[in-house]
A and B are shown apart, each in its own frame.
Chain A
Amino acid sequence: MASTTASAFEYAPAPESRSVVDIAPSYGLFIDGEFTEAADGKVFKTVSPSTEEVLSEIAQAGEADVDRAVRAARKAFGKWSALPGAERAKYLFRIARIIQERSRELAVLETLDNGKPIKETRDADLPLVAAHFFYYAGWADKLDHAGFGADPKPLGVAGQVIPWNFPLLMLAWKIAPALATGNTVVLKPAETTPLSALFFADVCRQAGLPRGVVNILPGYGDAGAALVAHPDVNKVAFTGSTAVGKAIARQVAGSHKKVTLELGGKGANIVFDDAPIDQAVEGIVSGIFFNQGQVCCAGSRLLVQESIQDELLESLKRRLATLRLGDPLDKNTDIGAINSAEQLSRITSLVEQGEAEGAERWSPACELPTSGYWFAPTLFTNVTQAHTVARDEIFGPVLSVLSFRTPEEAVAKANNTPYGLSAGIWTEKGSRILAVASKLRAGVIWSNTFNKFDPTSPFGGYKESGFGREGGRHGLEAYLDVR
C-alpha cells in the first residue's frame, strides 16, 4: 500500500508513546479484591500481535479458581445488592471518571495487547468504555423507571465470558449493567487479551469498589466452561463465536440460569443505485476494515445494485489502496495486526477456500511487516450465495461482493444467512430505508452509516447471532429478575 508506492500519502512515522503505560512482568487472577496465583500455579504468556513480543506472564485460571471467584462474588452479593441504588451509582460514576482520566494509558495498553490501531482504541474503544459506565451508573438508582416493574431485583452472581476483539469495551458492556442492577460478577477475558481487564481491576481499586464485587479470571476456554457450568452462577453472559454460544446454550439447559448470547454475524451492507457513492465507500470500508474486520457486526457482505457495481468497485479499490497497514501504535495506521496466529490461520484458510471455490480475490499492493500477524485488506468478487466466503463468518479484513437488481432481491439475499446481527442500507430515499429495514431479520440496522455504537442504544442479534440485548434501557433486562 502506501509504503510501497510513492504517492501523496507518504507519511513520516507518528508513533504514540508506550511510556504512558507500565506493564508488569506478571499478573495474577483478581479474586475478592486481591491479585492471587492460580491454585495449580499455571501461567500463560500474552504477546503483542504486531511484534510477537511477550508483554507479560498471566496466571491461568482453572476450575478451583473459578469456584473461589464465584464464592467471593456470592459473598459480596448480599451487601452490594442491598446498597441503595444511589450509592452503587456513585461507584460506577467513579469508575467512569477514572477510565476517562486513564484513557490514554488504557488505549495504548489495548493497542499493544490486541494489535488494533491506536486511532481506534483512542477514539472509539476508550470513549465508549467510559460512556458505558457513565450511562449505566445513572440507571442504578432509577431501575423502577426502566419498565421492568416497581422494584426489579438483581439475579445474583453473573458469570461473564468476553472475546478479544474489543477487550475493554466488551468488559464494560458486561460489567456496567451487571453492577448497576446490583449483581456481582466473575469475568473471564480472552486468553489473547487479558491485560486491559487486569488494569480494570486496578481501576476498581482506585474507585474503592468493595472486594468481591468484580472478579477477573484470565484463562482459556476451560475456565470459561467451568464458569458457565458453576452451580452458583445465576446469570451467564457470553460474547463470542456461534459455536461456543450453542455449547453454552446446551450446557445451561435445565438450569435456572438466565442467559444472554452475543454471537457471530455475516452482515449485509446494501448499496442502492441512488446512494452517495463516496459516503457509501467510506461506510463499506469502516464496515469491514474497522478493527481488521474482527467485529461480530461487520458488514462482511457487500450487496451492490447491479447498475452501479462497476463504478462502486472502482472507487472502493481506489480507496483501499490508500489504507495504511502497519505499526498499530502509529497514529496514521488504519489497519493493525490480526489478534493471534490462530485467527490469522483461520482467515488464511477461509480465503484460500474462497479462491478454490472460484471467487475472484483482490488486494491492493501491500507490504506486510515481517514479524507479527498480518493480513492485507481483501476483496472477493464473482461471489455467489453458495460460496463459503459468502456464508461463513471470516472475522478478518475480507469483503465478499454480491450484486442484486431489485430491493426484494437485496432483502432476500441479505436474509439468506443463519446469522442476524447487523445490516447497512445506503440510499437517498428515506421510505426505502424504512421499508428495507422492516424486512431485514437483524438486530441493528445502520442507514447511510455503519458501525455506530452508543451506550444508550441496544445491540444484539436475531437468529444464530444470539439472543438478548446489550446497551440502552433494554440492556438492563439481562441482569434483572423480571418474572
Chain B
Amino acid sequence: MSDKTDKTEQQRLGVFKTYKLYVGGKFPRSESGRVYEVTDAKGKWLANAPQSSRKDARDAVVAARKAFGGWSGATAYNRGQILYRVAEMLEGRKGQFVHEVADAEGLSKSKAAEQVEATIDRWVWYAGWTDKIAQVVGGGNPVAGPYFNLSSPEPTGVVTVLAPQESSFLGLVSVLAPVIATGNTAIVIASERAPLPALSLGEVLATSDVPGGVVNVLSGRTAEIAAPLAAHQDVNAIDLAGADDVLAKELEIAAADNLKRVLRPQPVDDWTATPGTDRMTAFLETKTVWHPTGSLGASGSSY
C-alpha cells in the first residue's frame, strides 16, 4: 500500500461540540460540574449535556430580571425586527438543526426538515405579533364620564418555560417565542431527553441581536430545575408545557406562593398548526389609564 492510498482511506475524525447552557448571553457549564448522557432515538450516544442545578436556575433568574427592563422597554417594532433576525439566522443554519432534530426525535431527514422549517416560520409569525398584540387585546374604553380611558397590555416579567418533552425544537420555539415577543424575559428548561436543539438555539439567539438574558436555556432534569423556579419569588409566571400531570400540580402549588401566572400543560397533537394568541395573553398584564377630559362647556363646534 502506498502512502497516497493510506491518506485517502483514512477518514477524518470529527470534532465534537461541548454543549453548554445559555445564561445572561454567555455559555457557562453547569456550576455543579454535572453532565448527563444524551442519546438518539436508538440509544446511540450523542453528547453530554449540562445537568443544571438549582444554583444555575437562580443565576438564570438574575440574568432574566436584569434583561427585563431593556427588553420590555424596547419598542415593539424593535423586538419584531430582532425576532425576525432569529428566523434569518436559523434559515442559514437549517442543516445543523435538521441533523439535531432528526437525531433527537428519530425522524427522517425530510420530516426533521419540515419541523425545522415550521420552527423558522414560527419565529416569523411571532415577529409579526410584537406590534399588533396591543391593537388586538388593548384599546380605548367608552366609560360613562368625562374621562379618556385606555387599556394596554404589558409583559408580566420573568417567565419560566418548561419546554415540551417530545417536540424538541418546534415545540420549544412555539412556547418560547410568544413569551419574549410581548417583552417578557424567559428561562427555558429544555426537553430533558432531547435538549441539544434547545442548547444550539442559544447560539443562534446570541448572534441575532437578542440581548443577553432575554432568553436563558437550561438543560438537565426538568423536575429538579423547575422546582426552585416555580417557588422563586422573582419569577412572575410559569408555563408548564413540559410537565406531566403530577409535576404540573406540584409546581402550580409552589407557584401560588407569589401568585405566579400559570399556564397549565395543554395537549398538543400537532405543533405545526397555526397558534392563536393564548400563549401571548397568558403572560400579559392589562394596564388601564384614566385621565379627565375636561370640558369646553356646551359650546365648541357642531361642524
Contact = CB atoms under 8 A, between A and B. Distances in A.
Contacts of B121: 86, 90
A473 interface: yes
A408 B297 contact: yes
A472 B135 CA distance: 8
A138 B303 contact: no
Contact of B132 (A93, A139, A436, A439): A139
A141 to B, nearest CB: 6
Contacts of B277: 145
Interface in A135-160: 135, 137-142, 145-147
How many chain B residues sit at the interface, stated as a range, is 20 to 34
Contacts of A145: 132, 136, 277
Nearest to A457: B135
Interface in B121-172: 121, 124-125, 127-132, 135-136, 148
A21 interface: no
Interface string B261-303: 0000000000000100100000000000001111111011101
Interface in A447-470: 455-456, 463
Given A139-B132, A142-B129, A408-B297, A134 B292 contact: no
A122 B80 CA distance: 22
A49 B301 CA distance: 41
Main secondary structure of the interface of A (DSSP, over half): helix
B81 interface: yes
Contact of B128 (A138, A412, A431, A440): A138
A180 B231 CA distance: 44
Contacts of B136: 145-147, 473
Contacts of B88: 97
A435 B301 contact: no
Interface in B155-207: none
A131 B297 CA distance: 41
Given A86-B121, A411-B296, A436-B296, A138 B291 contact: no
Contacts of A138: 80, 127-132
Interface in B101-139: 121, 124-125, 127-132, 135-136
B84 interface: yes
A456 B294 contact: no
A435 B294 CA distance: 5
Contacts of B131: 135, 138, 455-456
Given A93-B124, A142-B129, A145-B136, A434 B301 contact: no
Interface in A396-453: 407-408, 411-412, 414-416, 429-432, 434-436, 438-441
Given A131-B77, A415-B301, A473-B135, A435 B295 contact: yes
Interface residues of A, number: 40
Contacts of B291: 430-431, 434
Contact of A441 (B84, B128, B303): B303
Contacts, number: 98
A190 interface: no
Interface string A359-394: 000000000000000000000000000000000000
A93 B86 CA distance: 13
B127 to A, nearest CB: 7
A434 B300 CA distance: 13
A430 B293 CA distance: 8
A415 B302 CA distance: 9
A134 B80 contact: yes
Nearest to A454: B77
A473 B84 CA distance: 20
A429 B295 CA distance: 12
A134 B136 CA distance: 18
B301 A411 contact: yes
A89 interface: yes
B303 A416 contact: yes
A429 B293 CA distance: 10
Given A89-B124, A138-B131, A431 B300 contact: no
Interface in B55-78: 76-77
A408 B274 contact: no
B294 A432 contact: yes
- Interface core residue of B130, B274, B296 (most chain A CB under 10 Å): B296
B297 to A, nearest CB: 7
Contacts of A415: 301, 303
Contacts of A472: 135
A438 B274 CA distance: 40
A415 B274 CA distance: 47
A448 to B, nearest CB: 14
- Interface core residue of B84, B135, B136, B295 (most chain A CB under 10 Å): B135
11 contacts: A86-B124, A86-B125, A89-B128, A97-B84, A142-B125, A142-B129, A142-B132, A411-B301, A412-B300, A431-B292, A455-B131
For the complex of A and B, 7 pairs with smallest distance between CB atoms: A138-B128, A431-B294, A435-B294, A434-B293, A439-B300, A408-B299, A415-B301
Interface of A: 86, 89-90, 93, 97, 131, 134-135, 137-142, 145-147, 407-408, 411-412, 414-416, 429-432, 434-436, 438-441, 455-456, 463, 472-473
Given A138-B130, A439-B300, 13 more contacts: A135-B132, A138-B128, A141-B128, A407-B296, A408-B300, A412-B299, A415-B301, A434-B293, A434-B294, A435-B295, A472-B135, A473-B135, A473-B136
